[in-house]
Amino acid sequence: MAWASQTGFATALAERSAAALRESGRQVLLLPLDQVDGSVLAATRRALFIASTTGEGDPPDHALRFLRGPMAGDPALAELEYALLALGDREYVDFCAFGRQLDEWLRHRGARPLFDRVEVDNADEAALRHWQYELGRIAGTGQLPDWAPPAYEPWRLVERELLNPDSQGGPVYDLRLLPATGPLPAWQPGDIAEIGPRNPPARVSALLRQLELDGETVVAGERGAESLAALLARSQLPDADGLQGLPAAALAARLRPLPHREYSIASIPEDGQLHLLVREMTGADGQPGLGSGWLCRHARRGDAIDLRLRANPGFHPPPPGKPLILVGNGTGLAGLRAHLHARVAAGARRNWLLFGERNADRDFFHREELRELQAQGWLQRLDLAFSRDDGDRAYVQDRLLAAGDAVRQWIAEGACVLVCGNASGMAPGVDAALASILGEELRDRLRIEGRYRRDVY
């Protein structure tokens, strides 16, 4: 974990990040960036960087040694996986300039990003929560508590529809939500829904029985007075051993809130509802995932859902006058669907979707809608890849490579590329395909110009 800090904020975040990883059982070496040299990088297989930008796009003073040392050289970093948190202030023209410079240098040296760069504008809490969300994935646990819990708004589950009965993969649901009160708020395509999950009622009841406590007992929580059962539903459930005889108030004081979960929004406000496309995940113990289990299995129609909208500027739409290539797999269709709906609303017809899943007869999510958009001319091209179908097994990156001539033509006409979906398989494959089709220099220039954007997880 390397930090570059001018005022101490990046240092504090690095220390908190390192502590969180250590608590999950990871070994972490924490260093200022000026103490990282070529030998340290060569011996490292995974590195996390937290980099501030000062003044008009300058690195922190102490980081100049790294800038003039390793970054001035040409080390081979093909064995390195990394993640980067860039701190800046949008009031300055060169927002997060040093973080972006460091990210591009790492990519050019062959290092592989664990996820796309997270940029923080003036200590924005939502961006920091996203960084911590990704830390939880690196740690192999989803239980890292949020440093700054989202200020959720109450929403309600209107409808939940299973889209892929009998799929070889996990069940995928289209969930539709509305605010519990008031009008639908505004958001942009690419934005994220932060969900506050809840524990299954059966687990809460089992713990209360073990501790011989009444779930209706009123206790003090972060939301004020509420029942013990309600607080436990939103908290990390402790092991009952050693807690017998503990009063309800004392138990409440020990509880830590569940971490949030993030989902790409699959609709635009003009659709009248907020849609999510969620696959129910299963842990090694066979239990449903924390967030997906709550949304796909335990929450009932009409139930309250804790939700906060988070802006995701790095995946916002390009100008409607530009052609758009959308690439994704699985539930990554959610973010792409929102962009398609926005394009239709803006009257933009130069749209091309490449979508991949397992089987065409079970996993072609929103099939009728996409076919209708194609028939009406809103989708000029629709390329599909189904990896488990006999006779024509392919992944979405294979379809992209096969359409290389058309990709080059669309890019020459000013097209933007948006990629949404799996970060470990699909996204690197698509990235490599774009490099093969366009060349690494043009691919990287598209990224720098904001014409190649990703929302991968």
Q: Name which of 220, 197, 216, 226 is nearest 304 in CA terms.
A: 197
Q: How many CA atoms lie within 13 A of 45 on its CB side?
A: 1
Rounded Cα distance between 48 and 41, Å, is: 11
pLDDT for the residue numbered 42: 85
- Longest distance between any two alpha carbons in the chain, whole Å: 71
Rounded Cα distance between 209 and 415, Å, is: 59
User: Could you write out the DSSP letters of every residue in 356-409?
Assistant: EES-HHHH-TTHHHHHHHHHTTS-SEEEEEETTSTT-B--HHHHHHHTHHHHHH
Q: Is the pLDDT of residue 18 over 90?
A: yes
Q: Name which of 46, 50, 49 is nearest 81 in CA terms.
A: 46
% of the chain residues with pLDDT over 70: 100
Contact 277, 264 (CB under 8 A): yes
**356 - beta bridge partners?**
329, 385
pLDDT for the residue numbered 392: 79
Q: Which residue has the higher pLDDT, 176 or 8?
A: 176
pTM of the entire predicted model = 0.86
Rounded Cα distance between 429 and 451, Å, is: 18
pLDDT band at 221 (very low <50, low <70, confident <90, very high): confident
Contact 217, 228 (CB under 8 A): yes
Rounded Cα distance between 96 and 54, Å, is: 8
Rounded Cα distance between 440 and 457, Å, is: 23
**pLDDT digits 0-9 by tens, 349-376:** 999 999 999 999 999 999 999 999 999 9
pLDDT band at 193 (very low <50, low <70, confident <90, very high): very high
Q: Is the pLDDT of residue 299 over 80?
A: yes
Q: Is the pLDDT of residue 402 over 70?
A: yes
Q: From the centroid of its chain, how far is CA 37?
A: 31
Average pLDDT over all residues of the chain: 93
Q: Name which of 270, 262, 272, 277 is nearest 307 in CA terms.
A: 262
pLDDT band at 142 (very low <50, low <70, confident <90, very high): low
pLDDT for the residue numbered 114: 92
Q: Name which of 130, 111, 110 is nearest 120 in CA terms.
A: 130
- Give the length of the chain: 457
Rounded Cα distance between 267 and 212, Å, is: 45
**Which of the 8 DSSP states describes residue 235?**
B
**pLDDT digits 0-9 by tens, 230-268:** 999 999 999 999 899 999 999 999 999 999 999 999 999
Rounded Cα distance between 178 and 282, Å, is: 27
User: Could you write out the DSSP letters of every residue in 53-100?
Assistant: -BTTTBPPGGGHHHHHTGGGS----TT-EEEEEEEE-TTSSSTTHHHH
Structure tokens at 190: 């690419």
**pLDDT digits 0-9 by tens, 43-100:** 899 999 999 998 778 899 899 899 989 999 888 999 999 999 999 988 888 899 999 9
